[in-house]
Structure formats: structure tokens, C-alpha cells
Structure 1
């Protein structure tokens, strides 16, 4: 037996105000669209803004359903819309923010596993990394230069 050690690296900003101006704008759009989340069951609202290489910004918020597996996370709402509306445009970066209706989220909240896998599909397909910025409602923002930091053992088409 041998050990396999996997390391990841993130950049940490103290707040959204410390982000580059263009990323601040993207995060502000994510914060605004977070208010459109339909989250009557979890009271947990997520907003995403995706910047495409063509300059377009695609937004998404989580959409819940009483039949729990029928809802969709904000990240997948946005990334699937980007793929449908702009199928040949590469994704440059994503800004993600999450907030609870019941308590203030102060730590960066990354995408769930299903969303990480969905982001991986697009990153692999476009053969370019996607910068992912994520935060709670307030506080620090983490930046990942690629979904590989969030999902180091990605499943992709080479396994099929």
C-alpha cells in the first residue's frame, strides 16, 4: 500500500470589497439574483453569476420543489442556461454567494458535489479552467483557479 496525497490551493480575500473590480461586479450580480431564489423549504438562498468569454453574464438562483430531488441548485441553473443559450462560449469565471433566512452565513460556501461535477463537465469540455469565487452572505471570499481544487478526483468521459 502507498498513500496518495492530494493538495488544493485557494486564494482568500477578506471581503468582496477586496476582489478585483470586475469580480466585485460579478459577485454583486450574484448577490442580487440570490434574492430571486425560491427556497421555501430550506430557507437557504444561493445566487450565481457566470462570466462568459463573450462578455455576457448568466445568472442563476436555486429553485426548490416540494418533491425534493426535483429542485435545482443555483450553480446548475446558471451553468445549464449558459450551455443552452451560448453553447460555444467558454466560461471564464463564476461568483457564488449563499445566505440563510434564519442565520447569517459568514464563511465561504462552496458548490455542492453535484454542482462541482456539473462545473467539471464544462471545464473539461472547454479545455480551460473556470475561476470560482465563493462566499457566504458576508465575510471572506475564496477563489479557486479551477474546479479541480474543489473536485480533485473528477469523473469524466475518459472513464466511460
Structure 2
């Protein structure tokens, strides 16, 4: 990754994240925005669990997708946006914890396609526990009506 940070990506990401109704609905918050890395945190909420009382895989996937997408957003120019075109999630351990951390990191930047990897952690008593990983592919979008930062 190069050291050139495109514009004020932090402000653009914070504003974009605030418009994401799904993240607001699940109670997620943007907690770290750096060049190539974004973190989102989520408190445990029983409304987000599946029948066994653990965090639903769909919630984990959605939060990882947002973390990876916004990580990709940190390496593009201010006139562009990104859309996820593919991802794979590995669920490694039950989503049990008081809070959850979702970290997205750019693996391969590009002008058209960006690859990002994500990790989800359950936080509670003791050390954070890795519960899922994701690899995602994001397409850089420029000049498309209705899709902007």
C-alpha cells in the first residue's frame, strides 16, 4: 500500500457510516478509521441473536462487510465510492460476548478492484476471541448516478 492518503477520508467515512441505516439499526459504531484499516464495534443485544442465543451469522457478515468496505474506502480518491461484489465469511467460534469488534484491512489496493480481509472478535471476560474471518472484493465506483461517498 502506498503512503498517499486520498483526501480527508476519515470525515467522508464518518458521514457515510452515519447514513447506513443497517448499522444504526443493529447499534454498531465506527470506532477506528485509519489508512487501510477500519474498526466497528457492536454491543451484545439479544435481538441480534439466533435461536441458540449467539450473535447471528448475518449480523457478523454485515458488520464485517461494512468494516472491509470502509477500509477500502480509505484508499480511494474523494470522488469515488465502493460496492462489495463478493465476500466469503468463515465462522470459527460462537458469537458470545459482551461486545464485538469487526476489523477490516485492505489486503490489495487497486484503482478498480480492492481486496480486504476482516476479522470479528467477541470481547468479554478474558482475551478477545476470534469468531469469524472474511475476505471481500470491492469494486471502485466513479460517476454512477445514485452511488456517491
Q: TM-score, normalised by structure 1?
A: 0.28
* Structure with higher strand content: 2
- Write 1 or 2 for the structure with the bigger share of helix: 1
Give TM-score, length-normalised by structure 2: 0.30
